[in-house]
Structure 1
Amino acid sequence: MLKVQEIRELIKLIDESHIDEFSYETNGTKVSMKKNGGQIITETPTETKPATPQKPQPVQEEELKPQEEVVEKKDQETAAEQSSNYDQEITSPMVGTFYQSPSPDQGAYVQVGDQVKQDSVVCIVEAMKLFNEIEAEVSGEVVEILVKDGELVEYGQPMFRVKTV
């Protein structure tokens, strides 16, 4: 059976490569991954080449640009303020549902101010009825929990901020 860390490494390798589809089978365990790379490629040309019949779209995009810039500036300011509080982020290795504790009647794995080690379990991400324990992969103090219990998380979404020691 593959460990969560091994699956994470496979996901990272496939994500960074030009491979669109990958299958791996060992000891009765089968892992299949498929990127949605084709959609991204088709969207990129439409953004770089505004089509003549779609003239109203660039006008709408121009109207939204000032708002987007304001949001980006706020995000940058917030990130600058918070960057002094943490060194590392613990991100989700998969799409699923975030759980802070092993069961509803038990306490959270970690809280703000707790010390974690690289092999410390910090949460569970449920994907397709499988409960995957997520390890910190970094040693330090948890300074912020970015996700609420029961909330959906995306692949690569930051869940915790950790100040390393």
Structure 2
Amino acid sequence: MAHGFKESDFQNGVFIPYLTAPQPDGLDWILGKPADIDAMRWIVPGDLLHFLRDGCPLNAAAYARAMKGYDSDAAFLQAFLTETLLPKIAAKANAAFVLRESLTFAGQSFVLWNEAPRAGADARAADLFRKNFLRVIPRRLSSGNFPTATSASVAGPTWCFSSMACTSPMPN
């Protein structure tokens, strides 16, 4: 009998329950499904579009102005991805770095993440931080047993932050 753990035991028994459990016992993330992801880009398009529209007052105003040049939300999102977001991600060593920057698209500034409130911040900072979409998406797991906790087989990103930045590099 092989001793060790199965990756699925950790993902389904520890990791996902912790991320999705309500606070204070967990992080209260959204439990997603693999169908949520644009598998070619490892982006959750619905979350990204929602955040560009309503993630913060800056985005809402920028979206209202920039959207005038597009026939649909899908056309807007496709242009945002191909003209702004994907080139920015490709230029960074880690996609998560893009979360801290303002992105200019169609002459408007957008952000992809609301910072956590700092000491002395007013209630609006906490409200904006709660608008971030933090989603965990279970991934296909290998079926093997691993004899130690330091061995793992990675098949792709396990979780996505703010709809676009994932835990491993985007595929080429």
Greater fraction strand: 1
Greater fraction helix: 2
Highest RCO, 1 vs 2 (Cα 8 Å, sep ≥ 6): 2
Give the shorter-chain TM-score range. Answer: under 0.3
Whose Rg is larger?
1
TM-score of the superposition, structure 1-length normalised? 0.24
